[in-house]
């Protein structure tokens, strides 16, 4: 075609002009790691399940959640939800009530009797899990989902471990615990109760197991030497909490003194209050800042009228009196005796000084390394003995249910890989979605009418089982408060704000794509992405 002078293009659309060639850097869609996911000891993909919950698709939300944690109804009650303390929304108004939504999803699943989908293929391998606590049950669930045969041997007469014997009913109703355990058993996991394993190697040979996961927990109460008169009533905290599961509640009396500063001490003191004690006093040798118990639990205990004597040790226990010595912190922050004494009236003294692990089943196992009464494991949760893995309270880690569940999941993945003769390679971690990566202007402020309702529901839900958790409307609003940090939630902002019409919208669930023929690399999409799911990357020249 003959063209006029100085004209090289056919008359027509500017689409012939590929302005993408102007670009020196290009936008790239990415997923960043939301702080909540990063924080969760059980490795839950919180943002992902909230995403489903936001649209009211609770079953999808629950199914996403249980990929990492088979106990949402339990965790929605007892988890210390450190995820909420790192929530980016907390820097705008208040963190998302992740824990209360988790509880809602867990309860919804129980109410609607949602079941796990059994594995499609059997691996032919058989794994022994010792201990039916959170870690053992979590591992058993994950291993079963991967197609392995699983047998759990539990020394006690009921499953649940510390979830049953360490967490009082007012925090975790037993019907909820039983239902979530039963759902795992229904998956085809064999659960043998009252079946203590005394020698792991013999047991593995007897049952011809291909691998074992040990999670026997820490149930032996630590003792401290306290001179006590004959009439003194000295109990240990684990025994007290275990007796709560029996027919007759423990006799603690009107005035109960609890010695220790961990969560168990708090649980016993709160339990004593509920059993009718007029006074429940926790004696702890250091200060509130140094107390290992969860801050929320301390606060709740204080609200319930539990008293705490800081900087005090017990010197002597008599029939109705306890002698306490005052302490002072030295320059290094360690408590030192001051020589000042006082007496407390007490009908009983409960020792909550920590627990040791019963390692009897490991006698004669070669290659094991024990340090400070716990079993050392490598980065794959395997002990020094090939094929024997361990997790939960019996390995060095923070002792709580969430950590235990995380151990179970992690160990299951490595056991699965080990059984296949391969190594489990965890996918590379995305960079953290910090608040500076977000454009929070786009997030609406919460309507004033809904916010207080949520506050009340959230506070009470972690306080007392008598009060219900979130109802559906509240749960939906709470889920929608999620900022979806680092992960596209299809708000169409990039599609809208591109001056060059260079963003292609792919339709619901499919997100977007850049048309690099026309993208000039201005970066507006990156700046205006509310959740930080786009990044500029320099063009390679």
Partner 1 sequence: MEMQPIKFYQTGTFTVGNRLLGEDQRAVQANLQRTNSLNCGHRACQGCGEALGARYAIDAAMRAANKQLIAANATGCLEVFSTPYPETSWQIPWIHSLFGNAAAVAAGIAAALKVKGRTDVRVIAQGGDGGTTDIGFGCLSGMFERNDDVLYICYDNEAYMNTGVQRSSATPPAARTATTPTVGAHPGNAFGQGKNLPQIALAHNIPYVATASVAYLRDLESKVMRAMSLHGARYIHIFVPCPLGWGAASQDTIKLARLAVESGLFPLFEAEHGEVTGVYKIRKPMPVEEYLKPQRRFAHLFGPTPALETIARLQAGADRNIRKFGLLAEAI
With binding defined as CB under 8 A, does residue 539 bind partner 1?
no
Kindly tell me which of 329 and 491 has the beta carbon lying closer to partner 1. 491
Q: Is beta strand 279-283 parallel, antiparallel or unpaired with respect to 307-309? A: parallel
CA separation for the pair 535, 526 (Å, rounded): 6
With binding defined as CB under 8 A, does residue 7 bind partner 1?
yes
Residue 249: φ, ψ to 5°: -65, 155
Q: Are 273 and 249 in contact (CB under 8 A)?
A: no
Kindly tell me which of 330 and 445 has the beta carbon lying closer to partner 1. 445
Of 9, 175, 193, 296, the residue at the interface with partner 1 (CB under 8 A) is 9
CA separation for the pair 115, 133 (Å, rounded): 20
Q: Is beta strand 279-283 parallel, antiparallel or unpaired with respect to 255-259? A: parallel
Find the part of the chain contacting partner 1 (CB under 8 A) among 64-72, 387-395, 415-423, 527-535: 527-535
CA separation for the pair 415, 61 (Å, rounded): 27
Residue length of the chain: 541
Longest Cα–Cα distance in the chain: 116
DSSP state of 539: P
Smallest gap from residue 513 Cβ to partner 1 (A): 13
With binding defined as CB under 8 A, does residue 58 bind partner 1?
no
Secondary structure, 3-state, 75-131: HHHHCCCHHHHHCHHHHCCCCCCHHHHHHHHHHHHHHCCCCCCCCCCCCCCEEEEEC
Smallest gap from residue 521 Cβ to partner 1 (A): 6
Q: Within positions 10 to 29, which residues make up the interface with partner 1, using CB under 8 A?
A: 10-19, 22
With binding defined as CB under 8 A, does residue 41 bind partner 1?
no
Q: Are 100 and 77 in contact (CB under 8 A)?
A: no
Q: Are 355 and 219 in contact (CB under 8 A)?
A: yes
The b/e string for 92-122 (b: 16+ C-beta within 10 A; e otherwise) is bebbbbbbbbbbbbbbbbbeeebebeeeeee
- ∠ CA 144-148-151, rounded to 5°: 75
Smallest gap from residue 467 Cβ to partner 1 (A): 23
With binding defined as CB under 8 A, does residue 477 bind partner 1?
yes
With binding defined as CB under 8 A, does residue 500 bind partner 1?
yes
CA separation for the pair 107, 105 (Å, rounded): 5
Of 411, 483, 485, 533, the residue at the interface with partner 1 (CB under 8 A) is 483
With binding defined as CB under 8 A, does residue 441 bind partner 1?
yes
With binding defined as CB under 8 A, does residue 448 bind partner 1?
yes
User: Residue 452 contacts by C-beta under 8 Å, 6 or more apart in sequence?
Assistant: none
Smallest gap from residue 283 Cβ to partner 1 (A): 44
Of 219, 493, 514, 532, the residue at the interface with partner 1 (CB under 8 A) is 493
Of 140, 181, 357, 526, the residue at the interface with partner 1 (CB under 8 A) is 526
With binding defined as CB under 8 A, does residue 334 bind partner 1?
no
- ∠ CA 132-136-138, rounded to 5°: 115
Smallest gap from residue 482 Cβ to partner 1 (A): 6
Of 398, 492, 537, 539, the residue at the interface with partner 1 (CB under 8 A) is 492
Smallest gap from residue 477 Cβ to partner 1 (A): 6
With binding defined as CB under 8 A, does residue 283 bind partner 1?
no
With binding defined as CB under 8 A, does residue 54 bind partner 1?
yes
Find the part of the chain contacting partner 1 (CB under 8 A) among 66-74, 368-376, 427-435, 523-531: 523-531
Find the part of the chain contacting partner 1 (CB under 8 A) among 196-204, 266-274, 381-389, 477-485: 477-485
Smallest gap from residue 109 Cβ to partner 1 (A): 23
Kindly tell me which of 6 and 371 has the beta carbon lying closer to partner 1. 6
Kindly tell me which of 9 and 193 has the beta carbon lying closer to partner 1. 9
Could you tell me how many residues of this chain bind partner 1 (CB under 8 A)?
Answer: 57
Smallest gap from residue 19 Cβ to partner 1 (A): 6
Find the part of the chain contacting partner 1 (CB under 8 A) among 212-220, 269-277, 296-304, 488-496: 488-496
With binding defined as CB under 8 A, does residue 1 bind partner 1?
no
Please classify residue 199 by burial: count the beta carbons closer than 10 Å to its beta carbon, then call 0-12 exposed, 13-18 middle and 19+ buried: middle
Q: Is beta strand 25-29 parallel, antiparallel or unpaired with respect to 534-538? A: antiparallel
With binding defined as CB under 8 A, does residue 113 bind partner 1?
no
Q: Are 126 and 210 in contact (CB under 8 A)?
A: yes
DSSP state of 73: H
With binding defined as CB under 8 A, does residue 521 bind partner 1?
yes
Smallest gap from residue 448 Cβ to partner 1 (A): 7
Q: Are 284 and 260 in contact (CB under 8 A)?
A: yes
Kindly tell me which of 54 and 68 has the beta carbon lying closer to partner 1. 54
With binding defined as CB under 8 A, does residue 485 bind partner 1?
no
- CA 484, 486, 490, 495 dihedral sign is positive
Find the part of the chain contacting partner 1 (CB under 8 A) among 193-201, 292-300, 412-420, 526-534: 526-534
Smallest gap from residue 35 Cβ to partner 1 (A): 16
Single out the residue of 311, 305, 262, 302 nearest to residue 283, CA to CA. Answer: 311
- Give the residues lining the site for partner 1 (CB under 8 A): 7, 9-19, 22, 54-55, 441-448, 477, 480-484, 489-493, 495-502, 505, 507-508, 515, 517-518, 520-524, 526-528, 530
């Amino acid at each position: 075609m003959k063209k006029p002078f100085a004209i090289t293009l056919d008359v027509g659309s500017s689409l012939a002009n590929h302005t993408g060639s102007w670009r020196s850097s290009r936008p790239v869609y990415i997923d960043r790691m939301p702080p909540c996911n990063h924080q969760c000891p059980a490795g839950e993909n919180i943002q992902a399940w909230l995403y489903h919950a936001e649209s009211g698709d609770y079953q999808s939300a629950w199914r996403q959640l249980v990929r990492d944690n088979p106990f949402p109804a339990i965790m929605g009650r007892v988890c210390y939800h450190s995820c909420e303390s790192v929530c980016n929304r907390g820097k705008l108004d208040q963190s998302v009530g992740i824990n209360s939504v988790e509880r809602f999803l867990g309860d919804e699943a129980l109410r609607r009797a949602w079941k796990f989908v059994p594995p499609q293929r059997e691996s032919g391998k058989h794994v022994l899990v010792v201990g039916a606590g959170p870690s053992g049950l979590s591992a058993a669930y994950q291993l079963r989902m991967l197609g392995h045969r699983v047998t759990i041997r539990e020394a006690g007469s009921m499953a649940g471990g510390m979830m049953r014997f360490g967490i009082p009913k007012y925090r975790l109703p037993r019907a909820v615990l039983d239902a979530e355990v039963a759902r795992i058993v229904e998956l085809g996991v064999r659960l043998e109760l009252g079946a203590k394993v005394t020698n792991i190697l013999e047991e593995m040979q007897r049952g011809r197991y291909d691998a074992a996961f040990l999670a026997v927990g820490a149930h032996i109460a630590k003792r401290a030497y306290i001179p006590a008169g004959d009439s003194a009533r000295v109990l240990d905290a684990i025994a007290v909490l275990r007796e709560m599961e029996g027919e007759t509640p423990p006799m603690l009396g009107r005035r109960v003194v609890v010695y220790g500063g961990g969560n168990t001490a708090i649980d016993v003191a709160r339990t004593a209050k509920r059993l009718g004690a007029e006074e429940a006093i926790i004696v702890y040798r250091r200060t509130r800042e140094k107390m290992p118990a969860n801050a929320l639990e301390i606060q709740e205990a204080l609200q319930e009228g539990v008293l705490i004597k800081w900087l005090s040790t017990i010197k002597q226990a008599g029939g109705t009196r306890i002698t306490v010595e005052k302490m002072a912190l030295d320059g290094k922050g360690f408590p030192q005796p001051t020589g000042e004494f006082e007496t407390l009236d007490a009908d009983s003294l409960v020792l909550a000084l920590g627990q040791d692990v019963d390692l009897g089943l490991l006698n004669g196992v070669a290659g094991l390394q024990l340090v400070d009464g716990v079993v050392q494991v490598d980065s794959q949760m395997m002990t020094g003995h090939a094929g024997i893995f361990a997790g939960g309270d019996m390995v060095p880690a923070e002792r709580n249910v969430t950590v235990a569940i995380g151990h179970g999941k992690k160990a299951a993945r490595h056991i699965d890989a080990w059984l296949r003769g391969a190594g489990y390679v965890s996918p590379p971690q995305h960079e953290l979605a910090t608040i500076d990566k977000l454009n929070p202007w786009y997030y609406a402020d919460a309507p004033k009418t809904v916010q207080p309702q949520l506050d009340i529901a959230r506070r009470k839900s972690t306080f007392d089982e008598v009060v219900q958790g979130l109802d559906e409307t509240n749960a939906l609003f709470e889920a929608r408060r999620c900022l979806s940090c680092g992960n596209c939630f299809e708000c169409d902002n990039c599609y809208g704000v591109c001056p060059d019409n260079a963003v292609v919208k792919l339709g619901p669930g499919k997100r977007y794509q850049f048309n690099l023929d026309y993208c000039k690399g201005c970066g507006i999409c990156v700046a205006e992405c509310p959740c930080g799911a786009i990044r500029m990357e320099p063009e390679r020249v």
